[in-house]
Every structure is written in structure tokens, then in C-alpha cells.
Amino acid sequence: MLCVKSPVLKVSSSHFLYLYHSHTSPRTANSPIATGQKIYFHLNHPIRFVYLVAPIVAIQDIPNTKFFILTLDDSSNACIDVKVEREDPAKIDADSTSNTTVPNLDINNALGYDSEIKIDGQRVDIGTVVKFKCTIGSFRGVKQLELKRCGVIKDTTEEVAAWESMAEFKRDVLAGPWVLDDAEKAALDLQLQQEALKEQEEEKRERRSQRAHQKREEQRAERRKLREEEKEQRRRALERKYNQGALI
């Protein structure tokens, strides 16, 4: 089973970067490697993050929750929701420029029913073209993106550059299979062995620490027991002394 920590994933060019358009969208990614890991596959490429360049077509504040939904149209014949999470008010500094878990995105509801959304201090609205970095989640069986980083596409030049970068990445990386040569496999096997040995040593240290802690606790308990016994002996000695000559 592969996991997030696996070096096999880290050597993949698609592990931390995945741009998509109408032919390659989050909906076409296969199921996660394991529940909760949020790593998907496109062909045999492990996908952890999604980069999306698209206009905002809907803004929805979910009542009585800490979530906010931005709906984007990426020209894949269906819109996709991007979930934004509000930060806990108790954790927000007075000089903070964001009240969400995304450092440069702020949501202001003080103006009334319409929420004001700012990215890097710039107000965004329906029609604003944005670039989002997200992880892939799901809600009621439908894939949903969870926003991690964001920016505003200022003009068509930036938008064209983003599409060109996406096309280049798909052509050079995603279009072909992900293959490891013998040298890479040997290096990964060695790294896995070293990590396994390291984990074994850590487990041994943890067991030694637990045994030492248990021994210290037993010694403390024994000393407490001896002190209580000595205290009880002194109490009985005083009781016999005071009872001498007393009428019984």
C-alpha cells in the first residue's frame, strides 16, 4: 500500500503538481490510495494537488457552518465547487489579513447579506478568473476541491501563460506512463530499508522509555508504601504510649 510518506510518490512529477482542463479534470481521477490520504491517480500518476485556472460563476455562504463555497467553471462540461474554511475566530491575530485557513483570502460579511471576498487585498466576484491550488475531497459522493492556495489572474496574458504551462505539463508528464528505472528503484528500496530500520529503532527507544517510566513509577509507589508504613508504625507507637496507665 502506498501512503503520503512514501518516497515512491515523491519522485513522481505529478505528486505535487497537476494542471487540468476539459480533457483531464478531478472527476476523472481514480479513487484514493487509502481512506483519508486524499491521493488519487490519473492513469498511474499519483495526484495529491490540483491547480485550477477558471472564472468564478457562483458564491455561496453555507449557513451555520464555517464553510464557504466558490463554484468555478473550468470548461469541463460541469462546474466544480471549491470549499473554503473559515478560521477559528479565537485563533485570528489582530493584525491578520485573513479570516480563513488560506492566508491571502479574506471573507467579510459585515456589509450585509452579500459577502465580500478579497484575495491579496483585491476584491473578487462573479466572473473573476482565479488560480487555485487544492486537494481533492468529496461531498455526498461528488468530488469537491478544498482550497489551499489562491491568486487572481489579472489579464489574458497571465491566463494564456497558465494554459500553456498546463498543456506543457500534460504533454510532457501526464501523457506518458510514470516509470522508474532500475537505479531509481534501487535507491528507493534502500531508502525504504533505512526508514524501516529507523522506525524499528524509534519503536525500541519508545519501549525502553516506557519500561523506564514504568520502573520509576513502581519505585515511587514502593517509596510511598514504605513512608505510609513508617507513618503507621509511628502512629501506633504514640497510641501505645498515650494508652499506658489509662483505664480500660
CATH code, domain carrying 58: 2.40.50.140
| Partners of 150 in the β-ladder | 132
Of 149, 178, 207, the residue at which a domain comes to its end is: 178
Which is nearest to 159 in space by CA: 24, 52, 59?
52
Is residue 219 located within the same domain as residue 103? no
102 Cβ neighbours under 8 A, 6+ residues apart: 84, 147, 148, 149, 150
Inform me whether the pLDDT recorded for 165 exceeds 90.
no
Decide if 2 is inside a domain. Answer: no
Query: Per-residue confidence at 33, pLDDT binned at 50, 70, 90?
Result: very low
Q: Is residue 60 part of a domain?
A: yes
Does 116 lie in the same domain as 75?
A: yes
d(CA 58, CA 69): 8
**DSSP annotation string for 174-203:** ITS-----HHHHHHHHHHHHHHHHHHHHHH
Tally the domains of the chain: 2
Which residues form the domain of 192?
Answer: 180-248
- Residues 198 and 123 reside in one and the same domain: no
Residues facing residue 137 across a β-bridge: 144
Give the rounded percent of residues in the chain with a pLDDT score beyond 70: 78
For the stretch 104-159, pLDDT in tens is: 888 876 655 567 888 888 888 999 999 988 888 877 877 788 899 999 998 989 88
The count of C-alpha atoms lying within 13 angstroms of the C-alpha of 82, restricted to the half-sphere facing its C-beta, is 27
State the CB neighbour count (10 A cutoff) for residue 105.
24
Asked whether residue 155 is domain-assigned, the answer is: yes
Q: Do 81 and 121 have their domain in common?
A: yes
